[in-house]
Amino acid sequence: MTVRPIRMFDDPVLRSVAAPVQDFDRELRRLVKSLTATMRAGSGRAGLAAPQIGEAARVVVYSYDGKSGHLVNPRLELSARRVTADEACLSAPGLWWPLERSYMVTARGRDMFGKPVTVRALGVLARVLQHEIDHLDGVLFSDHLEAAERERFLAEALTAG
């Protein structure tokens, strides 16, 4: 399947709320396969959301520590326990930033054929799912930073880009 270019953090498509998937058809299966191929095309890639390749659909793929898959129209249930760890984004390459997230999540959605899927994750995979599902709502991980940290991040992102 086609490896697609990843949109950078200042691309307006990353600020749009992705539309729910209505049709579980061949086009959706192509999108999931392209997302997966694009995610796997580089080292250290653990997740990717459809808006990052310019598609305004509520679809994410993930692969971390032997667990991989995709979610269509995902919803998250977050644990109360939170942890801070470094986080990065393929749309802002080379920048890692400490960010607090829920340690454990339950993600519910559908697969590319419309069948219900539930993913229970903790640690890094939970972080990946939260990060990718944020992309579906037009939220970048830098949006979660305190104002001063966000300014530092944006300054570094602009210099790196």
| Mean pLDDT of the region 90-105 | 93
* Residue 3 falls inside a structural domain: no
Which residues carry a binding-site annotation for Fe cation? Answer: 89, 131, 135
- The three-class DSSP label of residue 46 is coil
| Percent of the chain at pLDDT exceeding 70 | 98
- In the chain the first and final C-alpha atoms are separated, in Å, by 28
| Percent of the chain at pLDDT exceeding 90 | 80
Question: Rounded to 10 degrees, what is the CA torsion of 99, 104, 107, 111?
Answer: 90
Tell me the per-residue pLDDT of 10-48, one tens digit each, with 9 for 90 and over. 899 999 999 999 999 999 999 999 999 999 998 778 999
Question: Rounded to 10 degrees, what is the CA torsion of 67, 90, 30, 50?
Answer: 100
**156: pLDDT strictly greater than 70:** yes
C-alpha 152/C-alpha 139 separation (Å) is 18
* Residue 55 falls inside a structural domain: yes
* Residue 104 falls inside a structural domain: yes
* Residue 80 falls inside a structural domain: yes
Residue among 130, 141, 137, 129 at smallest CA distance from 16: 137
Task: Quote the domain boundaries for residue 146.
Answer: 12-158
pLDDT at 161: 57
* Residue 119 falls inside a structural domain: yes
Average pLDDT, the chain: 94
Catalytic (active-site) positions: 132
Which residues carry a binding-site annotation? Answer: 89, 131, 135
pLDDT at 10: 87
Our count of domains for the chain comes to 1
| Phi, psi for 39 (deg, rounded to 5) | -60, -45
| Mean pLDDT of the region 134-158 | 90
* Residue 4 falls inside a structural domain: no
pTM higher than 0.85, yes or no? yes
* Residue 69 falls inside a structural domain: yes
* Residue 124 falls inside a structural domain: yes
Q: What is the CATH number of the domain that holds 151?
A: 3.90.45.10
